[in-house]
Amino acid sequence: GLDTVLDDSLAEQPDIYFEGGDHEALVHVSSEQFQELMADAEHGRFSHHS
């Protein structure tokens, strides 16, 4: 597996988009789907919105 760290602020978003690997395609998942995918990730608050 790959060690993953997840900012808790992402849970506040209704939809999550991330790069599909080719710099052109986006992958869309709902917040619920993203939480399932990241169930084993470490969580924390480390981002700052200005």
**Boundaries of domain holding 39:** 5-44
pLDDT of residue 48 exceeding 90, the answer is no
- The reported pTM is 0.73
Q: Is residue 34 part of a domain?
A: yes
Q: Is residue 18 part of a domain?
A: yes
Q: Is residue 50 part of a domain?
A: no
Q: Is residue 35 part of a domain?
A: yes
State residue 16's pLDDT score: 96
Q: Is residue 13 part of a domain?
A: yes
Domain count, the chain: 1
Q: Is residue 49 part of a domain?
A: no
**Cα maximum dimension of the chain:** 33
Average pLDDT over residues 27-50: 92
Model confidence at 39, pLDDT cuts 50, 70, 90, reads very high
Long-range CB contacts for residues 30-36, cutoff 8 Å, separation at least 24: 34/10, 35/11
The predicted-structure confidence for 6-38, as pLDDT tens digits, reads as follows 999 998 999 999 999 898 999 999 999 999 999
